[in-house]
A and B are shown apart, each in its own frame.
Chain A
């Protein structure tokens, strides 16, 4: 066998990848002895390995960069390709076009035929009316929304409408099993035929969180007092949703259809990743990346690409700030635990409101700045947590009028 340059250099590269077999390695060593050019490259490579810090190689994001390349390489849209094909084979094209026209008219015919008696359009508005009440719910009605439930939003809106208000708390819904409207499903086709996307709004009241699976397989874990606006299907080139509050996204991998989360001020673009977006405060939007890669964007050129373990903090009018984050702290809410580590006492204000519906007041302004540490567990009485921190800091508290009043401990 003749070992040519192409083969030898592949060996060099694969040597670097650490996947050479013993035989291949011996072969490479032999060539290094005889071929000066290869020897030079080999020693350069070995030397560079010693002196380059690995950060450069670790920083390379192959998948991300491939997407950039693929965007350039991606085939032209279908209609252009058909056009080009038609130019090349004009006879075949004529036949094809005729066939398409026939099929098209048949489809139009059948669509009309099936749609006339069907009641499908009725269900779309139902969903719209069913979902928004959750938005405006007061606490009394909010109890209806089941906690810790997985609702599969398939392309069948009727399912969601039927399931959401009635399921008891703590259940995981097997959508197929409890589907009273099975006979009257809205099929994919009827939705694709509709020209507008139907949007649904899901609001999670205080003191609960909520998991939902979108039609593309993306999982969204919504924190309390959050709102997600999403379409039942994602027919376009992008998958876009709108978020108020906080949510953890596990985006289904689909590089061709970027997933975009809009908050009031920023957008997060993801391809197949896990990340947390916190937008409770409109003036501080935090995007924390767990795996994969996301780009945060405010509509100008100052977008930021995040690496896992980092979060981007955005305040309107300022640049993104990127820093490491502690998963236990940032994602603690997902386990129903909010961890404070040497945080000023007033940091509990938002979470008290979100999880327990309580306001906070301090007898003296200085109290708000006292640093506290402790785990606030959503499923335990709030008094456990308050007792702990008060004992530690020499404070006292009373809860009345839906407010926690902190006072100095009386001797």
Chain B
């Protein structure tokens, strides 16, 4: 039930490492993947960047050899994990609700207030 073109392209990619075949998948799935990344990251530029980085990584590390049969879903899953990691990384940086207020070292605001 998979479209035959995807299958042909996948075998060209996995057997002969054809960049053209890789391009085909990029062309086909770039938009929906960006859409997904944008949903998760809430930032269009960042989304585009992540999808592009993903495609670069998958090619360079030859991860595409692990594709079983459906490249779209393969990229989708990788992208999902990638964006999740980003979300988790981003989370701790937001300050947890703190009761005591930030710990600020007292500092003179202007040099002329420094008491020496």
Given contacts A12-B73, A48-B39, A69-B55, contact A60 B68 (CB under 8 A): no
Is B19's CB within 8 Å of the partner chain A? yes
Contacts of B60 in A (CB 8 A): 73
Is A17's CB within 8 Å of the partner chain B? yes
Is A23's CB within 8 Å of the partner chain B? yes
Q: Would you list which residues of chain A between 50 and 98 have a CB under 8 Å from chain B?
A: 52, 56-57, 59-60, 62-63, 65-66, 68-70, 72-75
Could you tell me if B19 and A13 are in contact, using CB atoms closer than 8 angstroms? no
Contacts of A5 in B (CB 8 A): 73, 77
Could you tell me if B44 and A24 are in contact, using CB atoms closer than 8 angstroms? no
Could you tell me if A9 and B27 are in contact, using CB atoms closer than 8 angstroms? no
Q: Would you list which residues of chain A between 1 and 42 have a CB under 8 Å from chain B?
A: 4-14, 16-17, 19, 21, 23-24, 27, 41
Is A44's CB within 8 Å of the partner chain B? yes
Could you tell me if A57 and B23 are in contact, using CB atoms closer than 8 angstroms? no
Summarize B's interface: helix, strand, loop or mixed. Answer: helix
Q: Would you list which residues of chain B between 53 and 111 have a CB under 8 Å from chain A?
A: 55-56, 59-60, 67-74, 76-77, 80
Q: Would you list which residues of chain A between 197 and 231 have a CB under 8 Å from chain B?
A: none
Could you tell me if A45 and B36 are in contact, using CB atoms closer than 8 angstroms? yes
| Cα(A24)–Cα(B3), bound, Å | 11
Could you tell me if A57 and B56 are in contact, using CB atoms closer than 8 angstroms? no
| Cα(A12)–Cα(B77), bound, Å | 11
Could you tell me if A70 and B76 are in contact, using CB atoms closer than 8 angstroms? no
| Cα(A72)–Cα(B52), bound, Å | 10
Given contacts A21-B1, A68-B52, A69-B56, contact A6 B39 (CB under 8 A): no
How many A residues are at the interface, by size bracket?
A: 35 or more
| Cα(A130)–Cα(B77), bound, Å | 63
Could you tell me if B77 and A14 are in contact, using CB atoms closer than 8 angstroms? no
Closest residue on chain B to residue A7 by CB atoms: B70
Given contacts A9-B76, A23-B1, A70-B19, contact A62 B30 (CB under 8 A): yes
- Distance (whole angstroms) from the CB of B50 to the closest CB of chain A: 12
Could you tell me if A10 and B72 are in contact, using CB atoms closer than 8 angstroms? yes
Q: Would you list which residues of chain B between 1 and 39 have a CB under 8 Å from chain A?
A: 1-3, 19, 22-23, 26-36, 38-39
| Cα(A152)–Cα(B21), bound, Å | 35
Could you tell me if B30 and A65 are in contact, using CB atoms closer than 8 angstroms? yes
Given contacts A6-B67, A73-B19, contact A57 B73 (CB under 8 A): no
| Cα(A65)–Cα(B49), bound, Å | 9
| Cα(A19)–Cα(B6), bound, Å | 13
| Cα(A66)–Cα(B55), bound, Å | 9
Could you tell me if B35 and A48 are in contact, using CB atoms closer than 8 angstroms? yes
- Distance (whole angstroms) from the CB of A25 to the closest CB of chain B: 11
**Residue of A19, A56, A59 with highest tally of chain B CB at under 10 A:** A56
Given contacts A56-B44, A62-B30, A70-B19, contact A13 B72 (CB under 8 A): yes
- Distance (whole angstroms) from the CB of B75 to the closest CB of chain A: 8
Given contacts A10-B71, A69-B52, A69-B56, contact A45 B33 (CB under 8 A): no
| Cα(A59)–Cα(B44), bound, Å | 10
Could you tell me if B31 and A62 are in contact, using CB atoms closer than 8 angstroms? yes
Could you tell me if A60 and B31 are in contact, using CB atoms closer than 8 angstroms? yes
Could you tell me if A13 and B29 are in contact, using CB atoms closer than 8 angstroms? yes
Could you tell me if A57 and B72 are in contact, using CB atoms closer than 8 angstroms? no
| Cα(A68)–Cα(B56), bound, Å | 10
| Cα(A56)–Cα(B34), bound, Å | 9
Given contacts A13-B33, A73-B19, contact A66 B26 (CB under 8 A): yes
6 contacts between A and B (CB under 8 A): A7-B70, A9-B77, A10-B2, A60-B48, A62-B30, A73-B56
Q: List residues of A whose CB falls within 8 A of some B CB.
A: 4-14, 16-17, 19, 21, 23-24, 27, 41, 44-45, 48, 52, 56-57, 59-60, 62-63, 65-66, 68-70, 72-75
Shortest 10 CB-CB distances between A and B: which pairs? Answer: A9-B73, A10-B72, A10-B73, A10-B70, A9-B76, A6-B73, A13-B72, A16-B32, A13-B32, A6-B70
